[in-house]
Amino acid sequence: MPTPFLIPVLVVFAAGLGFGVQAPLNAALGRLIGGGVAAAAISFGVGFTALLAMTFAFGQGGALLRAGNVDPVYWIGGLFGALVVWAMLWSVPTVGILTALAALILGQLASGLVLDATGAFGLPVHAVTPTRVLACLMVAGGLILSRF
């Protein structure tokens, strides 16, 4: 794997490790305070604070002012992020972290195939190949096996 490709993969892998820890932490927070949606809001508040600090640390404060000039459809990502955080903290106590993450990843891969194929939101087009479909099917198999 070439280095320019490997670095982003490793960064996302590290983020995935953190995401695996985030789900049970948020589930525990929801249980401890007696509200899953409130726990998700707290999680987002902490994340928002961290990202706001990073925005200014990286000198991107002016970008916040330009956000009002884009089509509001591009703001919907935050809603999907909120749904992910809530869905994970709600489902983890019932199905476990492994199964919840497998379902989440399968959903991400399914949407990724479609978004790659269409070049949605100005991204480069990546063909749906048998190998890529097989990768999704393997994760689906992992989801099924996670319950045995």
Instruction: With a cut of 90, say whether residue 3 has pLDDT above it.
Output: no
Mean pLDDT of 16-44: 93
**In percent, how much of the chain has pLDDT > 70?**
99
DSSP 3-state of 96: coil
Q: DSSP per residue over 121-134, as a string?
A: GGPPP----HHHHH
Q: Please give the model's pTM, rounded to 2 decimal places.
A: 0.82
Mean pLDDT of 133-138: 97
Instruction: With a cut of 80, say whether residue 1 has pLDDT above it.
Output: no
Q: What is the pLDDT of residues 82-127, one digit of tens each?
A: 999 999 999 999 999 999 999 999 999 999 999 999 999 999 999 9
Mean pLDDT of 122-138: 96
Q: What is the pLDDT of residues 92-101, one digit of tens each?
A: 999 999 999 9
Distance (Å, whole) CA 92 – CA 82? 16
Q: What is the pLDDT of residues 31-66, one digit of tens each?
A: 999 999 999 999 999 999 999 999 999 999 999 999
Distance (Å, whole) CA 138 – CA 90? 25
Q: What is the DSSP letter of 146?
A: T
